[in-house]
Amino acid sequence: MQYLKLENVNKSYGEKTLFKDLNLTISKGQKIALIARNGSGKSTLLKIIAGEEAGEGENSKIHIANDIRISVLKQEPDFHKDDTVLDAIYSLDNPKIQLLKEFEVASLENNQDKIQKIMIGLDDLKAWDFDAKIKETLSKLNIKNLQQKVSLLSGGQRKRVALAKLMIEEPEFIIMDEPTNHLDLDMIEWLEEYLSADRVTLLMVTHDRYFLERICNEIIEIDNGSVFTYRGNYTDFLVKKAARIENEAANYSKLKKLYKKELDWVRRQPSARGTKAKSRVDKFHDIKDEVKSHTTNEEMKLHVQTSRLGGKILEAHAIGKSFGDIKIVNEFSYKFRKGERLGIVGPNGSGKSTLINLLTKQIRPDSGKIVIGDTVTFGYYHQEGLNLENDKRVIEVIRDVAEYIPLDKGKKLTAEQLLERFLFPRPQQQVYVSKLSGGERRRLYLLTVLMANPNFLILDEPTNDLDIITLNILEDYLMQFPGCLIVISHDRFLLDKLVEHLFILDGKGNIKDYNGRYSEFRKIQKQEKYAAPKAEKVITEEVIDLKEKKKRKNKLNSLERKMSELEDSKKKIEKQFEDSSLEMDKIQELSKKLQGINQELEETENEWLELSEGM
C-alpha cells in the first residue's frame, strides 16, 4: 500500500534552491532516512510532507493516503504553555486514552469512588493492556512526574514527552526529525527496537549513524539541490555514494581538460567572429560555469600545531560534589596524560556536565581539589554555549577569534579555509548569522571553539543538530587533533571512532574508568544485566528509585520556590525602572541588584535542570 507520493516538488528561498524536481514514494513497511548538509532542506521537506509548508512547481503533486494515521515528531515540539505532562500525553481524541487520563487524575486525587466507576469503564473497553503499554513507554523514556507543567521542562524532557505521545498514538506512518536528540543510550536502543518492527513505516532525519545502520532500508540524499536515492542501510549508502563520487570525479576530470582546451582557444582568438565562433564561446562559458560550481569533499589532512602541553596537565584529587542530598561526584581522582582521548557516558541527570564544570573549575568541588597545568588551554563546546551575534557575518565571527590556526612546518590554516573545510563556501561566509539555520549556527559555534586552537578540547554533545556530512569532517579533524580530548556524547558511532576509554557515571556519584570502546562496554553491560537474578534486580531498582525520587523531589520543590521568589524580586525591580524621575545613582543601584538576581536565577535554573533530567 502506498502511503505517500511526491512528484516534481521544488523549494527555494530567494535565490537559494533547496531541491528541484524531487520525486519520492513511500509504501507500507519502508523505513527511509533523509541525509543532507544543514540548511539543505531536510526539515523543510518534512514540513512540506506534514502540510506545514507548501511545495513549489506547476507540475508538483503531493498525495498522502487518507485512511492512515500519521504522527510527526519535530525537533522542537509544540505544547500548550499551560499543559501538564499528563495533558500533553493523554491529549488524543480516543475513548480509551481519555478514560485512562480520567483514571490518572482520580488516582492523583485519591478519589476512590471515581476510581471504581472509571475501572468499570476501562474493563468494558478492554483498555488495561493499553494502559500497561503507556506505563512501559513512560518508564522507558524516564517520564515520572505527570503533574509537572510542560513549560517548565528542559528541551530534552519536552522531546521525550512528544516521543511518548507519538508512540501512544500508534501511528501507521511516522515522520521524525532528529528523534535521538536528548535521549540517553538506553532510550535510543529501546527506540531502535520499536522502530525496527515490521508494522512501522518511517521517514526520518537523523545524524545517528548506528540508528541508520540498524533501522533504515533506504536513504535519500539531498546534495546541491539534487536528490539521490540509495537502497539499503548506512553501510550500503557509504559504498554507493563513494561509487557515485568516483564517477562524478572522472566526469569532472574530463570536463576540466575540455575547459583548459577551450580556454586556450578563447585566449588565442582576437574576437568571436561568425556564428560558429560565437557558439563555441557561449559553450565555453557554460563549461566554465559548471567547472567553477563543482564542489568536492576531498579529504584535507590537517596536522594542527597546538601549543605544547607540559608534564602536569589536569589532575583531580579526591573531588566530591553534591546538590543538597544528591551526590553527583564521590571521591573521584584522576591524572590526565598527554594525548588522552576520553569519553564520558551515563544516563541523563547523572552529572556528566557537572563533572566537566568541576574539571574546568567553572564550579568548585565540595571536597578535594583540581589542579590545572600552566600550559593547558581549554576549548569547551557545550550545549548552552551558543551565543552568536546575529548582525555579524560568518567570516567576522571566526576572525574575531583568530585569523588563522598554525599547522606544522610553518603552514597556516586561515579562517576562510577552516570555514570551507566545514562546509561554509566563500559566498556563504559573507552571510549574516541571522540567516543561518539552527544546524549551521551550531556548526559555526563549533568552529569558534576550534579556531581558538586549544590543546585540551572538551565537546559536550557535539553531534546534536549537526548533519552527517559535518560529523564525518569533524571526526577526521579530531582524529588528527594532537592534544587531549574529552567527549560527552550519546553518539555511539562517534565514541567508538574517537575515544580510547570511558568514564561511566552511574548517577549515584560513582565514576568507573573502562578501558575500551563503548560498544564493547555496552555488550558486557547487557550480559551482566541479563545474568543478574530477577529478584535481586527488582529489589535494587525499587530501593534506589524510592530513595532517589524522594531526595530529588524535595530538592526540586525547594529550587522551584526559590525561582519563584527570584522572579518576583526581578519584576519588582523592573517595575521601579518605569519611574521616569529616578536619579542616576538609584538607576545604577537597581541595575546592580537586577544583575545579581539574574545571575542567581540562572544558577538556580541550571541546578534545577540538572536534577530534573533524572526525574
Range of the domain at 467: 314-529
Whether residues 347 and 462 share a domain: the answer is yes
For residue 287, being part of any structural domain is answered with no
455 in Cβ contact with 483 (< 8 Å)? yes
Shortest CA distance to 343 belongs to which of 333, 358, 356? 356
Domain closes at, from 150, 170, 190:
170
Q: pLDDT digits over 346-363, tens only?
A: 887 788 989 999 999 999
What pLDDT is attached to residue 300? 44
What pLDDT shows up at residue 299?
41
Strand partners of residue 378:
456
Residue 401 backbone phi and psi in degrees, to 5: -85, -50
**Within this chain, do residues 392 and 514 fall inside the same structural domain, yes or no?**
yes
* Residue 16 lies inside a defined structural domain of this protein: yes
Span 310-331, average pLDDT? 92
Backbone angles phi, psi at 321, to 5 degrees: -150, 135
Q: What's the pLDDT at 257?
A: 67
* Residue 297 belongs to a domain: no
Same domain (yes/no): 166, 176: no
Query: Which position has the grid cell 511545495?
Result: 55
Q: Answer whether residue 126 is part of any domain.
A: yes
Could you read off the pLDDT of 19-44 as tens digits, one per residue?
888 888 899 989 999 988 877 788 88
**pLDDT bracket for residue 539 (50, 70, 90):** very low
Give the mean model confidence (pLDDT) for residues 527-552. Answer: 57
Mark whether 138 and 196 lie in a shared domain: no
> What is the reported pLDDT for 574?
78
Residue-level pLDDT at 535: 47
pLDDT of residue 297: 46
C-alpha cell at 480: 588528527
101 and 63 housed in the same domain: no
Closest CA to 471 of 500, 501, 451, 491: 491
CB 55 within 8 A of CB 9: yes
Residues 6+ away with beta carbon under 8 Å from 345: 185, 352, 488, 489, 490, 495, 502, 503, 504, 505, 518
Query: Which of 496, 514, 529 corresponds to the end of one domain?
Result: 529
Give me the DSSP letters along 398-447.
HHTT-SEEEBGGG-EEEHHHHHHHTT--GGGGGSBGGGS-HHHHHHHHHH
Number of domains making up the chain: 4
- The span from the CA of 471 to the CA of 531, in Å, is 36
Mapped onto helix, strand or coil, the DSSP state of residue 59 is coil
Q: Which of 273-287, 568-582, 601-615 has the highest mean pLDDT?
A: 568-582
Return the residue matching grid coordinates 582546451. 261
Q: Are residues 194 and 51 in the same domain?
A: yes
Grid cell for residue 494: 562517534
Q: What is the pLDDT of residue 542?
A: 54
% of the chain with per-residue pLDDT over 90:
19
Report helix, strand or coil for 72: strand
- So what's the pLDDT on residue 577? 73
Same domain, 441 and 462: yes
Residue 298 lies in a domain: no
Q: Does 295 have pLDDT greater than 60?
A: no
Average pLDDT taken over every residue of the chain: 82
Indicate if 456 and 351 belong to the same structural domain: yes
In a domain, 547, yes or no: yes
| Domain shared by 110 and 155, yes or no | yes
Share of the chain above pLDDT 70, in %: 86
**Strand 31-36 vs strand 201-205: parallel, antiparallel, or unpaired?**
parallel
Cα–Cα nearest to 161, from 178, 175, 148, 172: 148
Residue 264 pLDDT class (50, 70, 90 cuts): low
CB distance 393 to 430 below 8 Å: yes
Q: For residue 274, is it within any domain? A: no
469 plus 493 within the same structural domain: yes
118 & 1 share domain: no
DSSP state of 325: T
d(CA 311, CA 172): 59
Whether residue 152 is found in the same domain as residue 178: no
C-alpha 160/C-alpha 142 separation (Å) is 8
Least confident of 273-287, 388-402, 418-432, 555-569: 273-287
Q: How far apart are alpha carbons 71 and 291 in whole angstroms? A: 43
CB 509 within 8 A of CB 349: no
| Residue 266 falls inside a structural domain | no
Longest CA–CA separation in the chain, Å:
100
pLDDT attached to residue 266: 58
| Predicted pLDDT of residue 366 | 94
Domain boundary among 498, 529, 560: 529
- Cβ-count burial 236-270 (b if 16+ within 10 Å, e if not): bbbebbeeeeeeeeeebeeeeeebeebeeeeeeee
Q: Which three cell numbers stand for residue 408?
A: 606544522
Residue 527: its pLDDT value, please?
78
Verdict on whether the full-model pTM lies above 0.75 = no
Q: Is pLDDT larger for residue 426 or for residue 369?
A: 369
